[in-house]
Amino acid sequence: MMREIYPCLWFDGRAKEAAVFYCSIFPNSRITSESPVVVNWELNGKQFMGLNDRRPKDHFNETISFVITCDNQQEIDHYWNHLTSDGGSENMCGWCRDKFGVSWQVVPAVLGKLMSDPARAPKVIQAFLKMRKFDIEKLMNAWP
């Protein structure tokens, strides 16, 4: 019987630093165990594993990202600002990278509703195609 599925991320010797960084951003988060090779942590109850190894490997890219759904602009600002700080970067349409190169999508929870109406969705899409960090007020204004 399979108990769970969780990601294992390669941090080139910086897994503990990454775990501390992420646990400082997300509520209900903690480091659960660590060894010289592996650090395990939870972000809001979801398990993650970080692998320490200094051999060159593939780097993170946007083919895999973590989605954070936010109830309000304050939450979007919180996650966006922390994840893009200290060497992170902003991309378009709610995508960003943190200082370790991990990709994130910081999106408003209401986006699914805004995109569900075929008559209104094109205006919402046009609005968010111009955004880096999502602005809920501008999205709502595009959905008359």
**What's 78's domain CATH number?**
3.10.180.10
What pLDDT is stored for residue 144 in this prediction?
Answer: 74
From the list 35, 33, 126, the residue with the least C-alpha distance to 139 is: 126
- Domain identity same for 49 and 81: no
State how beta strands 8-10 and 46-51 pair: parallel
- Domain identity same for 42 and 77: no
What pLDDT is stored for residue 88 in this prediction?
Answer: 97
What pLDDT is stored for residue 57 in this prediction?
Answer: 65
State how beta strands 103-108 and 65-70 pair: parallel
- Domain identity same for 42 and 74: no
Q: Which of 43, 58, 73 is the last residue of a domain?
A: 58
Give the total number of structural domains in the chain: 2
- Domain identity same for 95 and 132: yes
What pLDDT is stored for residue 80 in this prediction?
Answer: 98
- Domain identity same for 27 and 40: yes
- Domain identity same for 108 and 134: yes
**Prediction pTM value:** 0.92
- Domain identity same for 46 and 82: no
CB atoms within 10 A of CB 73: 14
- Would you write out the chain's pLDDT as a tens digit for each of its 144 residues? 878 899 999 998 899 999 999 999 999 999 999 999 999 999 999 999 999 987 666 688 889 999 999 999 999 999 999 999 999 999 999 999 999 999 999 999 999 999 999 998 999 999 999 999 999 999 999 977
What pLDDT is stored for residue 65 in this prediction?
Answer: 96
Q: Which of 58, 82, 98 is the last residue of a domain?
A: 58
Domain assignment of residue 130, given as a range: 59-144
